[in-house]
Amino acid sequence: MNNKSIVITGASDGIGKALAWVMASRGYDLGLTARRIGLLESLKSEIEQKYPSIKVAVMAMDVNDYSQQSDILKSLHQQLGKIDILLVNAGIAIAGKTGVMPLTDQLAVINTNLNGAIATIDAGLKIFRQQGFGHLVGTSSVAAFRGLARNAAYSASKSGLTTFMEAVRVETLKENIDVTVLHPGFIDTELNRSLASRPFVIDVEKGAEIFANMIEKKVGESTVPKFPWNVVAPLLKVLPVSVVARM
């Protein structure tokens, strides 16, 4: 029987890279994309050495280049034979106060985290519909629950991604397509190490294990880890602005 397969965008570092290792250990074939092909090639070599029965396909992909998404996912589909799971994970974070930080930085966050994700989802759904099945997973954030100071664009991008995928879940209700939205809190990666405060931070290996478990269970939506963020995240929505401003 063929291995299940997962395609992970943003797989050269952080949670994407850690999850590639976890899924390989669980017997999944891997399709890995990121802008930095050299890092992907090194990761491919390391994984294949440890797990020789695993098929690993890597391709350079910039999610901001919407014209290439479809061809790259089609190529990975051909190399792997199928795509059981697509994890839309590529993202960036640039902190700064609106009206002070460069507008180009704000727009870069939106373009990568939301527009790039939408383009990936669009291309992935076409493959899922063609093959008759699929599991779409999106890496959102607890920042999606409330606009946070110095992270306006990041919060907006993740809130937009969550809402977009909720709509996709409705649209695919009668199709053989599952939709999962994960909202990680602080997972120790380069994306957030410069922040002064990272409450409830967990290491990336633990974060990847939780991701993998939730993906395999096909949960609809969850914070990562579930506790304490399943309590904290909803509270963010109702906290007074004066309290949020001090965070």
Residues with a catalytic annotation lie at 154
Task: Give φ, ψ of 154 to 5 degrees.
Answer: -65, -50
Rounded Cα distance between 99 and 96, Å, is 9
Contacts of 30 (CB under 8 A, 6+ apart): 5, 6, 7, 8, 11, 20, 23, 24, 47, 54, 55, 56, 57
Furthest CA-CA distance within the chain: 57
